[in-house]
Structures are given as structure tokens and as C-alpha cells.
Amino acid sequence: MKKKTYLFSIVEATSHKAFSMILSPVRGAAYILLAILLLSVAAWPVVGMLHQAKEKHLIQQFHEENQVLRSTLQSYRQRLTQLESSLNSMMESNPYFQTLANTSTGDAANYGVGGPSAPTPNPVRDAAFPDKDVESIRRLEKQVLQLSGRIATLDTTMANRMKAIAHYPSIRPSRTGWVSSGFGTRLDPFTGKQEHHPGLDIALPTGSGVYAAADGVVKDVRNFFIPNKSYGRYIIIDHGYGYETLYGHLSKTLVKKGQRIKRWDLIAHSGNTGKSTAPHLHYGVYASGQAQNPLDFILE
């Protein structure tokens, strides 16, 4: 039986020259294996370069992730330092907070917290930091939160107290003059009989300044009066919290009903109107409608 042979031809496109080769199956297979071997040898450096490029990319990626972890760790430590500073400042400003800061259980530990929960930290990222740093930050954050809530409550309480103090009739309503008649039982200068005097008479020249004893709203202004009757021209101020003050025997009023005033606002000029024997200011203080001794309120 005649052996099979194969003809391989390569024709050059421009000159049409042809190169032919007659190969037997065995020789053809040998040439193919040789070609594959040569290609493999030639491709090996390329594969190595690709592998090195991949490793370099992974190393660069790890380096970048390491930089992020280092930056985040530094941020954690700075945050820890800031929290410690805030906590120390609060405790230095008021030693009372030291007790609350050192309390980790009970009602104090739950004081002043609320609102949406913070997102749960990534456990993989947290695992990259020292446990003592993470725990210290969480502990200090809890203490700062507790103290912040406590301070906010105290600020509100203090603001309310300051508001109440501003509405407390605590000053003498004139800058000059002297007390000519006090609060309590006295002889009526018009009748000579015993009577209860529900205020304080301050002798001072007509036209002297009369000032509001505290913050409040003008409740009544009376300009019409009958000679030798009542307080003549007078002003009543409602200070809230159950307190009212009355300023009588005025020569001139400077405020209107419903007007808001502040302590030490000039509201009138003293005079000698109404039931009065000489120029003076009648000053009355009332708590829940009951006349009080003004000297018990004046703190000057």
C-alpha cells in the first residue's frame, strides 16, 4: 500500500511566488509539535510578565488598603484624644459631673440617651485596631453623651431659673429718696386712726424717676384720679409667677397697658397725686394677690 503524503504551499501575495513542501503524516506531526514547543517557549516570558503585573497590582492594592487602615487608626486615636479632652473640660468646669462620668450602670448610665441607633461598625475594619483603643473610644463616647444630656438639662433648668429671677421684683424702684413709711400697721395721716399700710412710701421730689422692679407686662395704667383718694396716678405691672407690683401717687406715667418692660426700665415720674400729704412714691408688692412687705424682696 502506498504511503500518503501531504503538499503544503505558501504563495507570496505580491510576486505570486510559491513555496511548497511535501510532508508525510509522521513528519507533519513532528513539525506541528515543534511549532507548538517553540510557541510555548516564546510565550513563557509573556506569561511571566502578566503574572508579575498581576502580583504588582495586588501589592499596590494591599498597600492602598494598608494606608486607609493607618489613616483610620490615626483618626480613631485623634478622636479618642478629643473625647478625653472634652470629658476633662466638662469635669473641670463642674466637679459634680465626675460622679456621673464614673458611673457605668444604673439610671445615670442611661441618662440623656436617645434617637436613632448608630450604624454597627464593620467587624473586619474594627478588628484592624487595638481593642483597647476601640473600647476606650466607645466608653468615652458614652460618658460624653451622658454628660452632654446632663448639661443640656442643667442649662434648661438654669435658663428657667434665670427667667424667674428676671421676673422677681428685687430692686428699689427709685434711685434716690428715703423710706418715710413702712409696711404694716400705722396711723393714717388723714384720719389719725390705725390702718394697715400695704406697701412702702419712699419720699422723693416730684418728677423723680420711677423704675420697674422686674421684667413683666403692664397690667394697668390709671391716669384719671380723684384728689385725696386712693393712689392717684398709678401703674400695676404683672411680672408672672404670681407677682405684681404697684407704683402710686405718680405725676406722669410713661408706659401703656400691655407693654412689655424690663427691670430698671423708666416707667414714670414720682408725684403727689391721690391720697398723699407730700411728694412720694407708694410701692406695693403682691404675691398671688396678697400684699407683701417690699423690704423682704429688695436685694440691693
**What are the extents of the domains in the chain?**
6-77, 83-166, 178-296
| DSSP helix/strand/coil, 46 | helix
- Where is pLDDT greater, at 134 or 295? 295
Beta bridge partners of 113: none
| The CATH classification of domain 178-296, taken from the options 3.90.110.10, 2.40.160.20, 3.30.70.2190, 2.70.70.10 | 2.70.70.10
- In angstroms, the CA 29 to CA 35 distance is 10
Whether 250 shows a pLDDT value over 70: the answer reads yes
Residues with Cβ within 8 Å of 172's Cβ and at least 6 positions away in sequence, in order, are: 202, 213, 283, 298, 300
pLDDT of residue 4: 66
The burial class, CB within 10 Å (0-12 / 13-18 / 19+), for 11 is exposed
Over residues 22-29, the mean pLDDT reads 67
Q: Give the single-character DSSP code of 119.
A: P
pLDDT of residue 122: 45
pLDDT of residue 219: 97
pLDDT of residue 94: 59
pLDDT-derived band of residue 106, with 50, 70 and 90 as boundaries?
Answer: very low
pLDDT-derived band of residue 126, with 50, 70 and 90 as boundaries?
Answer: very low
Quick: pLDDT tens for 70-99. 776 677 667 767 776 766 776 666 555 555
pLDDT of residue 168: 93
CB 210 within 8 A of CB 270: yes
pLDDT-derived band of residue 20, with 50, 70 and 90 as boundaries?
Answer: low
pLDDT of residue 188: 79
- Where is pLDDT greater, at 72 or 101? 72
Quick: pLDDT tens for 208-242. 999 999 999 999 999 998 888 899 999 999 999 99
What mean pLDDT, rounded, does the chain reach?
Answer: 78
Q: Give Cα 143 to chain centroid, integer Å.
A: 16
Whether 37 shows a pLDDT value over 70: the answer reads yes
| C-alpha distance from residue 129 to each of 23, 29, 236 (Å) | 71, 63, 69
Residues with Cβ within 8 Å of 145's Cβ and at least 6 positions away in sequence, in order, are: 112, 113
Over residues 195-217, the mean pLDDT reads 96
Over residues 266-271, the mean pLDDT reads 97
pLDDT of residue 16: 66
